[in-house]
Amino acid sequence: MQYVDSDGSETHQEKPVEHVPGDKQETLGTTGQDLTATGQAAAHPQRPDGKVELTEDDAYEKLGYSYPEWKKWMILVTILCIQTSMNSNASMYGFGVDGISERYGVSTTKARLGQFLFLVTYAFGCELWAPWSEEFGRWPTQQLSLFLVNIWQIPSALAPNFGTLLVARGLGGLSSAGGSVTLGVIADLYQPEDTGFQYAVAFVILSSVGGAPVGAVIGGFVGQYRSFEWIFWVLLIMGGIVQVLHFFLVPETRATVLLDREAKKRRKNGQKNIYGPDELKEKRFSGREVARIWWRPFLMFFTEPIVLFLALLSGFSDSLIFTFLEAFTPVFEQWGFETYQIGLCFLSSLVGYILAYLTYLPVIWHHNKTRKVDPDRLSPESRLWWVLYLAPLLSIGLFGFSWTSLGPPQVHWIAPLIFTTIVGMANYAIYKSSIDYMIAAYGPYAASATGGNDLARDFLAGIAALYSHPFYENVGGEDRHLIYPSTILACLAVAVIIPIYIFYWKGPQIRLKSRFAQELEKARQARMQKRRSTIGEQGGLQGGHVEKV
């Protein structure tokens, strides 16, 4: 198949998709229904027990894809609140380090272990929760995660000793489902070719990266006017509110769960032989099956080149940002900023994220317009087109910040904030484009795929929590200890963004090595072709994507 890149100049030739045998085929779990050219449903494959599987095509109007647009955006706005609350757990903690150090008699470096443990266990929590959301559903998985995170805020605030605090922080991170589940919801609500798909991805990514600066702003005020325990009480209040919002406003979206529910309703109405896909699985939760479910996201991380390399790219970018933000306190203290004012400085990152989000909207509009002409015209690599231009801002922003960290009277404090905004634009672009690419490639298993991205981002950011403070204290001597560290990060950023260009130009060859992504793409295109054959004759095919009639 020929694909045209977003700039209209590059064409790629795809090879035929190979069949995935054995266990790999079972892992995909792709189901479908054969439709004839006249739109009539062909007979389902007959099972020995006489049971018939209810497929997506049989009950498409019951799935998240068919939710009205207002309902989809109600879910996405609630996800924004969840992401803000969860990501605040890491950023707010930094404003309690001095109080923790004083209360428990440990050094400030040791006090940062709480931040390190939360981020590292958060990285593995994303991977462990993601596959269960694909088995049990997004709603119960997210509810349980939010509940456990809220519970662990209590011993964090009331910890009688530093060891108890560390255990509570570690368990809090392990309980966090994070973006791997919330991003998987997008794949439940939109097909990759739907006009709203990329808008939804852009919005949810904004909520993912925006949570940290929002938490830092709140943490600045709490650190200024309250003891460190209030960091955890405020986090508990925020977590409780978003859990209630999620409980009442967000329905289940996972397709297999909704099909199981619809099958049960149909059996009650007399269709005795109709069963959902999960109902037909044998020995679903045997020891081997549980191990396979848990291993799935790690398997994808280590064996899928798309997941591995894009996750590492996004992870190193986030690590650089996390290290760089450690400079805020010593840099802005030069202008006499108080704690809450330093927290407000993090709004510059949020401004950068919003600006980058806005620049993506016309790109998405152009892509949707192109798909109306031909849904298959754009290659998956077109989703990386705009980041080619925004990614270099990472290095430019870090260079600019480093040499505007001289302090008064040489530099006004607004200068480093401007370059922080530029860095924020690049970080959003890298995260957004990599996630967008993976969700499109892995569809119903997007939660496991994007879990690898969160694994790399949180794990590397957790490590950065240990070295970033001494890095800005000891590198460069007394005169240049605020300049040289950021300059080093700017140089590293040049190397970090190189894989983006490799994926853009060599993506088709890399995808040919991913049998998992190829098989899912083959199944998706087959389903779309069936719907076009069925609905096209009824006049229901509109604007390059299928409307259920």
pLDDT digits (tens, 9 = 90+) for 366-384: 989 988 888 777 777 888 8
> In this structure, are 108 and 172 located in the same domain?
yes
Query: What pLDDT shows up at residue 23?
Result: 36
Query: What pLDDT shows up at residue 155?
Result: 97
pLDDT digits (tens, 9 = 90+) for 48-64: 777 888 999 899 999 99
> In this structure, are 466 and 529 located in the same domain?
no
How many CB atoms are located within 10 Å of the residue 34 CB? Answer: 13
Structural domain contains residue 422: yes
Range of the structural domain that residue 199 is part of? 68-252+307-513
Query: What pLDDT shows up at residue 536?
Result: 59
> In this structure, are 469 and 532 located in the same domain?
no
**Which secondary structure element, helix H or strand E, spans residue 422, and what is its range?**
helix 414-442
Structural domain contains residue 300: no
Query: What pLDDT shows up at residue 132?
Result: 82
Query: What pLDDT shows up at residue 43?
Result: 47
Average pLDDT over residues 217-242: 94
pTM for the whole structure: 0.81
> In this structure, are 161 and 95 located in the same domain?
yes
Query: What pLDDT shows up at residue 545?
Result: 41
Cα distance between residue 119 and residue 455, in whole Å: 9
pLDDT digits (tens, 9 = 90+) for 244-259: 999 999 999 999 999 9
Structural domain contains residue 288: no
User: In this model, does residue 230 exceed pLDDT 90?
Assistant: yes
> In this structure, are 506 and 482 located in the same domain?
yes
Query: What pLDDT shows up at residue 307?
Result: 82
Structural domain contains residue 491: yes
Structural domain contains residue 32: no
> In this structure, are 73 and 167 located in the same domain?
yes
> In this structure, are 212 and 77 located in the same domain?
yes
> In this structure, are 502 and 534 located in the same domain?
no
pLDDT digits (tens, 9 = 90+) for 118-137: 989 988 887 788 778 878 89
Tell me the three state secondary structure of residue 41: strand
Beta bridge partners of 274: 52
Average pLDDT of the chain, as a whole number: 81
Residue 368: CATH number of its domain: 1.20.1250.20
Structural domain contains residue 262: no
Smallest CA-to-CA distance from 450 within 463, 441, 461 is with: 441
DSSP per-residue string spanning 101-137: HHHHT--HHHHTHHHHHHHHHHHHHHHHHHHHHHHT-
Query: What pLDDT shows up at residue 111?
Result: 92
Query: What pLDDT shows up at residue 160?
Result: 95
> In this structure, are 246 and 328 located in the same domain?
yes
Structural domain contains residue 425: yes
Structural domain contains residue 285: no
Average pLDDT over residues 138-152: 95
pLDDT band at 7; cut points 50, 70, 90: very low
User: In this model, does residue 283 exceed pLDDT 80?
Assistant: no
Share of the chain above pLDDT 70, in %: 82
Number of independent structural domains in the chain: 2
> In this structure, are 413 and 523 located in the same domain?
no
pLDDT digits (tens, 9 = 90+) for 453-498: 777 888 888 888 888 888 888 887 777 778 888 888 889 888 888 8
Name the residue with higher pLDDT: 409 or 228: 228
For residue 190, the one-letter residue type is Y
Please give the structure tokens belonging to residue 4.
Answer: 């045209």
Spatial contact of 337 and 223, defined as CB atoms under 8 Å apart: no
pLDDT digits (tens, 9 = 90+) for 90-105: 889 988 999 999 999 9
User: In this model, does residue 356 exceed pLDDT 90?
Assistant: yes
> In this structure, are 391 and 446 located in the same domain?
yes
> In this structure, are 429 and 522 located in the same domain?
no
